């Protein structure tokens, strides 16, 4: 509820007012997480494919699996995570104030966020971009044809700014209706109050998957912004940031090396020296970050490689039906390029 | 004098308590502020109001004043503030009128009418406004057709789930002459009614009210039209590719918010009006009737003026609440002060400053409302006759 969210934001501001400076200078995040016995991960308020709780309250999704991978790396157990649903407006404050350890919430890495919000981003886990979706019946093939249209959107981040920039550069006018609540936003689009809805392309696929007849809607080809989605952690804890980053890269490297959930035990016997280092066979890479020697093995065994995580949550066979697009390994013409494990 | 002796002095003691009290409040405030600043600095979060002058870069769907994305954040905030004031003021006016009628009808001797009004009041008072806003908005966007199948009420008047569109007039020249002419007509008509009333009270003679008043209203306009060059074009709404372009638009977000605020405030106003009327002794009505006044006249001339004294102070509360409740606009996409502030928070990453700013603005709006209502209360309060 909007009221609740605004209250939440004010509470977050109040937290900044009240938290004593001394208490905030606590132990490192890794120590805190280990002492607590579980990871606390901030995810979205329910987005098909990225983070959604089932009837039993068990979370699943792409963003959820990123946190599970970190839990596997730290504890060797992907279930040692508590998921907290974070509001799009308060997500950074919740991270800053220490309520969560990782923000894994379809969040775009930008310069000003990195520079002014007191947070650090990990590697891009999903290359996204803001797009526009319309009803097929409009007979439109390009966002450039949307002159004079009404567009619905959520207040998130720079969504409104990107739209204004896009229409200013093309010299077109549009009417923007901003909703605080995703349900109201979707209702306004599906009822025809708005001609188009704008969000990250992955999110549009999610909205479409949730409609009564997904076939009636089409996502226009234009990508009007770059949205590299990445997990975020608090600034000035490089050890924790490294753990999050390398957990993500471990999944990408596993895909590159052909290591899967199914064959990881077999691969552990491989003679490839990098695979040996990744899975904790030879070198002790784990302890350098304060992790177990077998952390990489655990991540792949328990969560899977990048391709498995993508296909399970977002891929062609899911309701979202997203193709890999730019989220393909570099040697297949994509943008995923995990640094070497050595 | 030693300090002990000084403390025995009552006035010194009283002063000391007050100084300690103020010092404690200042100290707590200082602690919170310095803590926040230290935390912000430690977490490398930008602070200050420097962002206000920067380019806003987003569009706002409803702009009472000219606004472009290239304008500053400060101007965007002003647009949000004007939207808040616009919807809240209209809701206050409508809810006062509707509430007064409902409050009187609640006391009607007709059981159907009074029960119906009881239901109206209880249904609106006992459900959170936010839920009503979702309801009204859903009713508008789901029951009305999309804009391409808009219903044509009259030529040029369209209703759809994107709102009401009517023809607008674009003035080519003489706009202010027309405004002055209309204002003069209204002033003359009001003056005429005052004169008629004065004349009736002093001499008992009745003069024609309405015929002369209408003539006074029309004359300046006709004169202005003959003497000056007043011309304008009618801007007819046209169905474009997506939307109706041209004409004046009433957006569904605004309508849903106005309806929600008006109805829920009107229920509270009705109860206040009812209590005000019940506070007037029965003898007043009986006396009025024995003078030959009808029921309506007794209500309008005798009871309501006295009831106002009871009604006005709690009414101030309702008005202040209406201003504050208008911030629920964010739930249904109306760009009020809070929504614009939210967008700014998202874009700048600064939360404390915009929140402080809109809290201060609501405080000022509430205090202004109180000042105006207190002045009005002083105006209607019982004036003891000096004999």
Torsion (CA) A126, A130, A135, A137 in degrees, nearest 10: -110
B147 touches chain A (CB under 8 A): yes
| Contact list, A157 vs chain B (CB under 8 Å) | 346-347
Question: From the CA of B52, how many Å to the nearest CA of chain A?
Answer: 16
Confidence class for position B180, pLDDT limits 50, 70, 90: confident
B40/chain A closest Cα distance in angstroms: 7
Q: Does A11 have pLDDT greater than 70?
A: no
Of A3, A20, A24, the CB nearest to B328: A3
Distance to chain A for B256, nearest Cα, Å: 13
Tokens of A105: 């919430």
Q: What is the mean pLDDT of residues B181-206?
A: 86
- What are the φ/ψ torsions at residue A99 (nearest 5 degrees)? -70, -30
- Whether A156 shows a pLDDT value over 70: the answer reads no
pLDDT for A2: 44
Confidence of residue A299 (pLDDT cuts 50, 70, 90): very high
Instruction: Write out chain A residues lying below 8 Å of B143, CB-based.
Output: none
- Binning pLDDT at 50, 70 and 90, where does residue B99 land? very high
Asked if the Cβ–Cβ distance from B347 to A10 is below 8 Å, we say no
Residues of B within 8 A of A6 (CB-CB) are: 327, 330, 338, 342
**Can you give the pLDDT at residue A311?**
95
What six digits make up the tokens of B141? 């966007």
Upper half-sphere CA count for residue A192 (Cβ side, 13 Å): 19
Of A155, A176, A191, which has the smallest distance from its Cβ to B141's Cβ? A191
The Cα of B342 is separated from the nearest Cα of chain A by a number of Å equal to 7
Mean pLDDT across chain B: 87
CB distance B47 to B352 below 8 Å: yes
**Contact (CB<8Å) A193/B332:** no
Residues of A in contact with B328 (CB under 8 A): 2-3
DSSP character string of B154-180: ETTEEEETTEEEE-EEEEEE-HHHHHH
Per-residue confidence (pLDDT) for residue B91, from 0 to 100: 96
B42 contacts in A (CB within 8 Å)? Answer: 21, 24, 118
pLDDT at A249 (0 to 100): 97
What is the model's pLDDT at position B61?
84
Using the beta-carbon criterion (under 8 Å), do B38 and A118 form an inter-chain contact? no
CB proximity under 8 Å: B 152-171 to A? 161-162
Taking the Cβ of residue B327 and every Cβ of chain A, the question of whether any pair is shorter than 8 Å is answered with yes
Residue A46 binned pLDDT confidence (cut-offs 50, 70, 90): confident
A14 membership: H or E segment, kind and range: helix A2-18
Nearest to B141 among A19, A21, A193 (CB): A193
Higher pLDDT pick, B212 / A19 = B212
Using a CB cutoff of 8 Å and minimum separation of 24, what contacts does B48-55 make? Answer: B48/B353, B49/B353, B49/B357, B51/B344, B51/B348, B51/B350, B51/B353, B52/B77
d(CA A276, CA A264): 11
| In the predicted structure, residue B384 carries a pLDDT above the cut 70 | no
pLDDT of residue A184: 87
Is residue B70 over pLDDT 60?
Answer: yes
Contact A175 B241 (CB under 8 A): no
CB contact under 8 A, B142 and A191: yes
Does A117 sit within 8 Å of B45, measured CB to CB? yes
Using CB atoms within 10 A of its CB, is residue B114 exposed (0-12), middle (13-18) or buried (19+)? middle
With a pLDDT cut of 90, the percent of chain B lying above it is 37
* Residue A52: strand pairing partners: A60
Torsion over CA: A220, B61, A179, A62 (sign): positive
Q: What is the ipTM of this complex?
A: 0.72
Which chain A residues contact residue B32 at CB under 8 A? 17-18
User: Which phi-psi region, left, alpha or beta, contains residue A144 (left: φ > 0; alpha: ψ -120 to 50)?
Assistant: alpha
The model's confidence at residue B178, banded by pLDDT at 50, 70 and 90, is confident
Q: Could you tell me the pLDDT band of residue A210, with boundaries at 50, 70 and 90? A: confident
Contact list in A for residue B253 (CB cut-off 8 A) is 177
The reported pLDDT for the residue numbered A22 is 40
Within a 10 A sphere around the Cβ of A200, how many other Cβ atoms?
24
* Whether the predicted pLDDT of B218 surpasses 50: yes
| Residue B2, pLDDT score | 67
Nearest-by-CA chain B residue for A155: B343
What CA dihedral angle connects A196, A198, A204 and A206, to 10 degrees? -100
B interface test, pick of A161, A168, A189, A235 with most B CB neighbours within 10 Å: A161
Cβ separation of A158 and B43 shorter than 8 Å?
A: no
């Amino acid at each position: 509820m909007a009221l609740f969210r605004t209250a939440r934001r004010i509470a977050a501001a109040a937290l900044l007012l009240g938290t004593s400076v001394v208490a905030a200078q606590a132990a490192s995040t890794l120590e805190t997480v280990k002492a607590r016995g579980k990871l606390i991960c901030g995810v979205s308020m329910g987005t098909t494919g990225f983070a959604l709780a089932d009837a039993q309250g068990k979370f699943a999704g792409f963003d959820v699996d990123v946190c599970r991978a970190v839990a596997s790396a730290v504890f060797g157990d992907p279930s040692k995570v508590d998921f907290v649903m974070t509001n799009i407006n308060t997500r950074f404050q919740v991270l800053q104030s220490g309520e969560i350890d990782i923000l894994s919430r379809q969040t775009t890495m930008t310069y000003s966020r990195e520079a002014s919000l007191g947070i650090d981003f990990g590697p891009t886990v999903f290359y996204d971009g803001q797009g526009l979706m319309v009803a097929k019946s409009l007979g439109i093939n390009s966002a450039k044809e949307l002159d004079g249209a009404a567009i619905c959107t959520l207040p998130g981040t720079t969504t409104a700014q990107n739209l204004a920039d896009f229409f200013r550069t093309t010299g077109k006018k549009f009417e923007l209706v901003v909703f605080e609540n995703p349900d109201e936003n979707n209702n306004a689009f599906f009822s025809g109050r708005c001609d188009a809805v704008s969000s990250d392309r992955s999110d549009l696929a999610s909205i479409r998957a949730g409609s009564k007849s997904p076939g009636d809607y089409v996502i226009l080809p234009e990508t009007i912004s770059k949205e590299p989605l990445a997990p975020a952690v608090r600034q000035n804890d490089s050890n924790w940031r490294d753990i999050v980053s390398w957990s993500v890269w471990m999944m990408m490297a596993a895909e590159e090396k052909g290591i899967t959930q199914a064959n990881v035990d077999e691969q552990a016997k491989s003679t490839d020296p990098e695979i040996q280092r990744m899975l904790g066979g030879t070198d002790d890479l784990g302890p350098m970050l304060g992790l177990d020697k077998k952390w990489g093995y655990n991540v792949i065994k328990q969560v899977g490689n990048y391709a498995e995580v993508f296909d399970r949550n977002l891929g062609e066979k899911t309701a979202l039906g997203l193709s890999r697009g730019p989220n393909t390994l570099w040697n297949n013409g994509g943008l995923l390029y995990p640094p070497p494990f050595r | 004098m030693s300090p002990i002796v000084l403390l025995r002095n009552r006035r010194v003691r009283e002063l000391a308590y007050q100084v300690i009290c103020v010092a404690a409040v200042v100290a707590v405030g200082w602690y919170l502020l310095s803590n926040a600043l230290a935390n912000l600095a430690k977490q490398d979060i930008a602070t200050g109001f420097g962002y206000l002058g920067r380019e806003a870069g987003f569009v706002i769907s409803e702009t009472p004043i000219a606004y472009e994305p290239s304008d500053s954040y400060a101007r965007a905030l002003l647009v949000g503030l004007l939207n808040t004031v616009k919807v809240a003021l209209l809701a206050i006016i409508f809810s006062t009128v509707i509430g007064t009628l409902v409050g009187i009808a609640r006391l009607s001797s007709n059981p159907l009418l009074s029960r119906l009004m009881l239901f109206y009041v209880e249904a609106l008072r006992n459900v959170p406004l936010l839920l009503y806003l979702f309801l009204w908005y859903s009713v508008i966007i789901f029951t009305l057709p999309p804009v391409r199948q808009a219903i044509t009420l009259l030529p040029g008047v369209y209703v759809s789930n994107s709102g009401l569109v009517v023809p607008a007039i674009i003035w080519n020249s003489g706009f202010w002459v027309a405004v002055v002419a209309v204002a003069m007509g209204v002033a003359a008509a009001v003056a005429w009614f005052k004169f008629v009333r004065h004349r009736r009270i002093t001499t008992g003679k009745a003069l024609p009210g309405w015929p002369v008043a209408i003539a006074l209203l029309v004359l300046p306009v006709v004169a202005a039209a003959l003497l000056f060059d007043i011309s304008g074009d009618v801007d007819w709404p046209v169905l474009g590719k997506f939307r109706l372009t041209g004409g004046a638009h009433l957006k569904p977000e605004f309508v849903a918010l106005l309806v929600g605020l008006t109805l829920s405030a009107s229920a509270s106003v009705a109860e206040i009006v009812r209590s005000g009327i019940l506070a007037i002794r029965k003898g007043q009505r009986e006396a009025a009737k024995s003078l030959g006044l009808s029921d309506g006249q007794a209500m309008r001339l005798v009871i309501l003026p006295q009831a106002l004294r009871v009604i006005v102070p709690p009414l101030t509360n309702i008005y202040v609440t209406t201003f504050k409740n208008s911030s629920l606009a964010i739930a249904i996409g109306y760009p009020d002060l809070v929504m614009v502030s939210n967008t700014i928070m998202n874009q700048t990453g600064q939360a404390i400053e915009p929140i402080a700013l809109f809290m201060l603005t609501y405080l000022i709006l509430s205090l202004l409302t109180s000042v105006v209502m207190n002045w009005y209360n002083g105006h209607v309060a019982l004036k003891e006759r000096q004999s």
